[in-house]
Amino acid sequence: MAGVTLIAFEGHAPQVHSTAFVAPGSRLIGRVEIGAEASIWYNCVLRGDVNQIRIGARTNVQDGTVIHCDSPQPGREQGWPTLIGADVLIGHMAMVHGCILHDRAFVGLGAIVMNDCEIEGDAMLAAGAMLTPGRKILSGQLWAGRPAKYVRDLRPEEIADMRAGIAHYVGNARRHAAALEG
């Protein structure tokens, strides 16, 4: 992983599956776990210094995204880890903080997901949207705006497009890994 910064913090080192792609310029700090065939694209920062960040298999975190978590606090002893399931798509320059993204969730370009939020599978937060603390997007819903609000249910073809994007990025990551090796 040439050009990738992996930093152990307070006894916790990032764990990256051997089949994952982490692009040059990315920074992984502390309690960060990257699953099989996941892709972390150029210049992403995943900072697991105060809690854990977990990225599931085949999840795609696009260029310039920042992922963080939040510390334990009175009344919230577990704090706000960032738990991202499998087959999740996260667009360029997103900010994902102390939340749960279930398998097959979608976060659009430049979107913000704040503490204590949840996005269920086959649900979409639109590009540029801001999901404020404690909000939950249910399966099959599209939310947009700042602050984000429910817009409509996703059409079956939109859900199919999201699922196709997963396979696209797994393949694209393989091509970039090969190009960097050659």
Token pair for residue 175? 């091509």
Please give the residue range of the domain that contains residue 111: 5-181
Per-residue tokens: 75: 């009344």
* Number of domains, the chain: 1
CATH number of the CATH domain containing 89: 2.160.10.10
In this predicted model, what pLDDT tens digit does every residue of 30-46 receive, in sequence order? Answer: 999 999 999 999 999 99
Q: What is the pTM of this model?
A: 0.96
Mean pLDDT computed over 23-35 = 98
